[in-house]
Structure 1
Amino acid sequence: MTVEEKAGLLFQTMLTMNPDGTLAEGTGLLPYTARELVGERRMTHFNLLGGAGPRQMAEWHNHLQELAEDSRLGIPVTLSSDPRHAFTDNPGTAMRAGAFSQWPETLGLAALGDPELVREYADTVRREYLAVGIRLALHPQIDLATEPRWARGNGTFGEDADLTSRLVTAYLEGLRGPGDGLGPDSVAAMVKHFPGGGPQKDGEDPHFAYGREQVYPGGFFDYHLQPFKAALAAGATQMMPYYGMPVGTPYEEVGFGFNKGVITGLLREQLGFDGIVCTDWGLITDSELFGEPMPARAWGVEHLTPLQRAAKVLDAGADQFGGEHRTDLVVELVGSGRVTEQRLDRSVRRLLTEKFRLGLFDDRRYVDPDRAEETVGNAEFRARGEVAQRRSLTLLKNDGVLPLSGRPKLYVRNVSAESAALHGDVVEEPAAADLAVLRLSAPYDPRPGGFESFFHAGRLDFPAEELAEILTLLRTVPTVVAIHLDRPAVVPEIAEHAAALLGVYGASDAALLDVLFGHADPRGRLPFQLPRSVSEVERSLPDQPQQSTDPLFPFGHGLRYPARQDRPA
């Protein structure tokens, strides 16, 4: 292999596709094309941003593989994806489900706490991904959400290390599929974000400069490592360090992707990991996202040039640059003698070995568009996801109104009137209703701009005016409140006045109404505490779980409906 070909393997970045399954050739969201990256930069690892129908995704994947096969060495492409089986609306962390089966968010799986269900979920993801050619999951995210304000808690299994450790083991088994190790029917997993991205200062996220600091005032660094040790024991082959820079620890105060003490000292030498380490996206070069400038997340090394940052990443022990395509930097580092070709070879061996294990050099390079249409989002997979949605709902309070019966007069807000009409008579005014059903999203501080606005951070309580409007409804008519918990919420007044309160982690209106009317039972338990006040959160230690001594609802809280023989479990 030439240095240029080796350098190409060390980069993984986003690609988009045309809706008809052809390669995107013109200008658009990204400043490059697949032909440029594969043909000129020798890259063979790509993260699909967005998607289309299953047939079109499969055809696009095959076009990409054809492009790679025409290169000098014909190294096949490894196609990766962020999660795409739930309800998220943040394109920086996950994709909408689209044609894929739709399940609750990871927090919903945690609320059920059932390793067998998580294994079933991951197996479904594996089978749907395989059908369209996705061979690398940029998940699971096993950070511990010990800082309630953190915007990335939605992708985690909550705040408990033991629960997360049990579930990540099942998750990796499901993605791996049959056999003891990675094989042609496996989807590899890039576990993130080592060594645990939860304890962010003030709950701010290190996608942005104001959130770059990760702190451990409670001394719980090792607690956040526990799920990663479980993942390693379960055979994880890839790891992604987070953006954050550790503050007040023995490690250098630079982002984890640049941190030799963390990647080489802790992950490789102390924990014995010899798999692939890929940085989080965009550590080296400034870019543009959603039409806005996006500075490199080079926390602690902002003063270094892109060339120097690339050298520091390689020196730290990482194998791959996520979200980057500047292969010329690595070629220059080798040409100048700053990095040896033997250093590249260590990473190249790891990356090629993974491709061989996945069967990409054999008959698994291409996929069948007909089979993709038959597999993705089929009736069996959709049914599994819908059952999980219903079961994951967490009944926090019930004044005896649930489950509902008969055909009550319903006033609904943020709920489809069409769905509600299947269960009751929908009325236009709360005063005319027997019961109201109100869906809410957990509160947050809206952030400006395009990309930044997708991150729900800041306040956990509703603004006074919005809260007053909610309480007016609750005092007018008995109301069932279902609140989407993408992170904890401070809702003591709502809990006091609601006739019933449920936590939701991704569920359709149909799923919610089925549970409210007793056609399915809520089985979830809170995967984190719900604090009683914002001031309590502000006083808490961000690295320590279950900080509240008097939470509104404790970790693991979840009520059950009265037993009844004709109600499904």
Structure 2
Amino acid sequence: MKSGFKKGLSLLMVLVMILSLSVGCSDKNSNDDTQSTSESTTGSIETTEETNDGAIVMKEPIPVEEWGSGTVKWSEEDTDFGFTLVNNDGGETIGYSKESGLKLIQVDGFAFKDLNANNMLDQYEDWRESDEARAMNLASILPVENIAGLMLYSAHVFAIGETLDEAQLAFLDAGGRSVLNAASAAAPETGALWNNAMQVYAEKTPFGIPVNTSSDPRDVGISAWPSNLALAATFDPQVAKDSAMTISQEYRLIGIGTLLGPQIDLASEARWVRIQGTFGEDPALSRDMTASYVDGIQSSYDASGNDLGWGKDSMNAMIKHWPGDGAAEGGRESHALVGNSAVYPGGQFETSLIPFVDGGLKLEGKTGEASSIMSSYSIAYDEDEAYGELIGSAYSEYKIKDLLRGQYGYEGVICTDWGVINDPEEFIHTSWGAEDMTKAERVYRVLTVGVDQFGGHNSNVEILEAYDIGVADIGEEAMRARFEESAVRLLKNIFNVNLFDNAYIDVDETKEVVGSDALNAKGFDAALKSVVMLKNKDNTIKAATEGEKPTVYIPMLYRPAAASDFGAPTPAKWFLPVDLEVASEYFNVVTDTVNATLTGEADADGNATIAYADIKRASAKELAGCDFSLAVVDGPMNAGSMFAGYGFDPATQSYVPMTLQYGKYTADSEFVRKESISGSMIEEKQDSVYGTQTVEVKENRSYFGKDAIITNATDLDAIEYAAANMPESAKTIVAIRAQRPVIVSEFENDVDAIIVGFGIKDKALLEVAAGKYEPSGLLPVQFPKDMETVEQQFEDVPRDMVSYTDSEGNIYDFAFGLNWAGVIDDARTAKYGVAPLVTPTNTGK
């Protein structure tokens, strides 16, 4: 490590120590300037003591009263799920397990948990204190080993069950308290029981720090709400807030206290595979959806909908991926080395900050800002290092220390994305630009720039090694101060959502609420509002009339066998793209059949697999009785996977284009880069007058002249068959399940209507196609004219493509959509259908 860097870091650590002694806070809600009181023996309630300058005063432990003596202001009740609730009169309800051996103590007539078993009321155990004071107190007394454990965020391997396995126990014993619940298929009550089992075990450990379980956004096991991109298609931030409030309610009843989301990367590159997880490509719309969503996730609300700030119904939001991962060169994804860089040919790096600094960090609600931020994987690539050193975001002084911690003064938790400190030979490894460091050196570098937590890491060994590196580099006192700084942030997020006071779940409530009919109905209504109608020639789709169900042809789709990053390969299949039972609620369905004799390659058991030729399409006689056809297709899907990479052909070891069309695409237009902007430094043999030499050169990731590889190109066959073989009087509707923009020029002129859903249940598309619901959604992304305009646009500039114009003269631009009367023109289009923002209004502190 360079000596200049060490000297700068030493000065930084001294500053950290000074700041850590003067952190100001008001009460439990950071935006509330009032001071609530906690009950003393005279009945007043007194919270954290503050000095005149707002600094929190650390207090000595308080002697306890004899249990049950004096005026008792608590009462106990045992539950059916192995834990006990203690109700404090006018105060906090706390939960604990008698199995854990934890003892209760009494002060001023109230009950508290003696989490560290010292028979005193420590400040962190006192629910009358502010979250900030409690976190600071606990951080100050935790051993370094425990703080190192807090910095862990478990990998995906944690299985869900009613008991804990050895790996989970080892993680908890190492001090780990941030657990990823990746088993979205587990029944909600199983997740609740698993949570309770973890909390009992955590309660037995020194200091009694509860587990803060998290989840990525999920669409099974809870009520069916739309994806982020579908929420954006409603152009209604209130719908996003309603979604988040419901998600928070359900997740908490599974035992989940942190959402690894929302994903708020600006989708400025049309080919990027993660667009469905975003709020689209427009900075203003993404900003507003982000702010409303995070408010809905983080705040607790009363029955009248009033914002109460942090509370027992709150979740921490971890907005991601700072400073935005959407400017991916050529659309390649930064999970893989081949896509490890974001590029800024339009010079609009700051545009990607808008959803973060004007949205997630400027909430209208009482929690003020997102409590956590996940850094992106990607390198912000510029050969002159205009955006800092060419290194992944978690390691970047410019992105984290200078911008997020410095300019924007962010004091919440910053967590790396998963696998950032792993070695290149490991399965998930994303240490872009830091591959030559040891794991401990990577940890130390990440800590020095201001990151607090390591996603996907189960062992505290490297973190403790990094601590030793820091002690040798800047001294024990400064390194301890740096650890405490992260500990306060991490602990505060556990206090925010009341886990220290009651981390247990009433499983009966879980069964009653999670995935309930009432909540599913709300989610379905939001999905309906998100459906976008692009084409409706001659009112093909109109209000349904009473009478018999129409007879509709829905063609089957084919998928070839595919490898998987996790688990066994997916076999080839022909399938009906919608659930037949659901579709039959709306239509009499006619479809295709698969031949009894299969002709595909033999599987491991010697049995023939399904081939594309094994389909028997519906005959002219079967189609003759149809009122219309409905081709339900997925948007074009490029070959590859997150960790193997997109836009790279492993068979030829060459870069290939990513495309938004089904048909063959060869990247040979004048707009295709012959030399990529980004590229890793690679060794190359070169001949010269001095002989053959090995030199380091920048890799050229150009895909000029190469063909794209689409795995579902045959979806276009389904559309074409439906359009060409229906009776003359029958119409053809195409329903696209899109994850990003789609080039529709290959089929638009041959069909009568097009509707689009962005990550919603098929039932909503069927409802609109059947005329049961008038569509109101608007495009949250442009649908481009062709691949030339896609190649011509800049990855970092939103809404800079030429949009497609259909046979009816409609332009599929951002904020376009039809209802039964025609082009939608309302308050939403007036607000957002203007020139896109370029720079944030929040300039920082």
**TM-score above 0.5, yes or no:** yes
Look up the match of 2:420. 283
Pick 1 or 2: higher relative contact order, CA cutoff 8 A, min separation 6.
Answer: 1
Q: Match of 2:284?
A: 162
TM-score, normalised via structure 2 length:
0.61
Contact 2:533–2:777 under 8 Å retained in 1? yes
**Residues in 1 aligned to 2:551 and 2:309: alpha-carbon distance in whole angstroms:** 55
Aligned to 1:566: none
Name 1:61's counterpart in structure 2: 195
Change (3 A) 1:447 1:558: same
Cα distance, 1:295 vs. partner?
A: 4.5
Paired residue for 1:269? 406
Quote the offset at 1:143 in angstroms: 0.6
Change in 2 beyond 3 A, CA 1:174/1:61: same
Relative to 1, partners in 2 of residues 1:226 and 1:180: Cα closer, same or farther, differing over 3 Å?
farther
- Structure-to-structure mapping, 1:56-205, within 5 angstroms: 56-84=190-218, 97-176=219-298, 177-178=300-301, 179=307, 181-205=309-333
- In the alignment, the residues of structure 2 paired with residue 299 and residue 82 of structure 1 have an alpha-carbon distance, to the nearest angstrom, of 23
| Counterpart contact for 1:159–1:528, Cα < 8 Å | yes
Report SS of the residue matched to 1:346. helix
How far apart in 1 are the matches of 2:644 and 2:338? 15
Taking the aligned partners of 2:156 and 2:331, their CA distance within structure 1 comes to 30
Give, in whole Å, the separation in 2 of the partners of 1:451 and 1:46.
25
Aligned sequence identity (%): 34
How far residue 118 of structure 1 moved from its aligned partner, in angstroms, is: 1.0
State how far apart, in whole Å, the 2-side matches of 1:63 and 1:17 are.
14
Partner of 2:579: 416
Pair 117,474 (structure 1): closer, same or farther in 2 beyond 3 Å: same
Match among 528, 549, 573 for residue 390 of structure 1 = 528
Moved more, 551-560 or 159-168: 551-560
Map 1:516-527; keep pairs closer than 5 Å.
Answer: 516-527=769-780
Separation in structure 1 between the aligned mates of residue 183 and residue 445 of structure 2, nearest angstrom: 31
Q: Is the 8 A contact 1:193 1:241 kept in 2?
A: yes
The one-letter code sitting in structure 1 at the alignment partner of 2:449 is A
Q: Pick from 481, 489, 505 the counterpart of residue 758 of structure 2.
A: 505
TM-score by length of 1: 0.90
What's the counterpart of residue 232 of structure 1?
361
Aligned to 2:799: 546
One-letter code aligned to 1:333: A
CA contact (8 A) 1:17 1:60 kept: no
CA contact (8 A) 1:191 1:239 kept: yes
Q: Call closer, same or farther: CA 1:60–1:320 in 2, change over 3 Å.
A: same
| Deviation for aligned residue 1:420 | 3.1
Structure 2: gaps (5+ residues): 1-141, 302-306, 364-368, 556-576, 592-617, 649-656, 665-712, 806-811, 823-845
CA distance in 2, matches of 1:393, 1:191: 25
The 3 A distance-change label for structure 1 pair 382 and 452 is farther
When residues 287 and 54 of structure 1 are mapped into structure 2, their CA distance, relative to the original with a 3 A threshold, is: farther
Q: Is the 8 A contact 2:263 2:277 kept in 1?
A: yes
Contact 1:16/1:48 (8 A) holds in 2: no
The residue that corresponds to 2:346 in the other structure is 218
CA positional deviation for 1:468: 4.7
Stretch of structure 1 that moved more, 163-172 or 327-336 = 327-336
Describe the superposition over 1:391-428 as per-residue Cα deviations: whole angstroms up to 9, x where unpaired. Answer: 21100000121125553321112233333333333334
d(CA) in 1 for partners of 2:281, 2:642? 29
Residue in structure 1 matched with residue 451 of structure 2 by the alignment: 318
**What is the alpha-carbon distance in structure 2 between the residues aligned to residue 368 and residue 150 of structure 1?**
41
1:92: which partner in 2? none
5+ long unaligned stretches in structure 1: 26-32, 85-96, 564-569
What residue number does 2:486 align with? 347
Q: Which has the higher helix share?
A: 1
Contact 1:200 1:542 in 2 (8 A): yes
How far apart are 1:473 and its partner, in Å? 2.2
Structure 1 residues 459-468 or 308-317, which shifts more? 459-468
Identify if the C-alpha distance between structure 1 residues 16 and 383 changes in structure 2 by more than 3 Å, giving closer, same or farther: farther
Specify the SS of the correspondent of 2:180: strand
What amino acid is aligned across from residue 720 of structure 2 in structure 1? L
Q: CA deviation at 1:255?
A: 0.5
CA distance in 2 between counterparts of 1:381 and 1:451 reads 37
CA RMSD after TM alignment: 2.2
| Contact map agreement 1:242 1:280 (CA 8 A) in 2 | yes
Q: 1:77 to 1:223 in 2, by over 3 A?
A: same
- Contact in 2 for aligned 1:412/1:420 (Cα 8 Å): no
Shift of the 175–67 alpha-carbon distance from structure 1 to 2, 3 Å rule, reads: same
8 Å contact 1:486–1:505 — kept in the other structure? yes
Aligned residue pairs: how many? 537
Return the match for 1:333 from 457, 461, 466.
466
- TM-aligned CA distance change 1:448 to 1:211, over 3 Å: closer
Rg larger for: 2
Cα deviation per residue 1:253-309 (whole Å; 9 max; x = unaligned)?
Answer: 110011111111101110111111011111112489xxxx52420111111111111
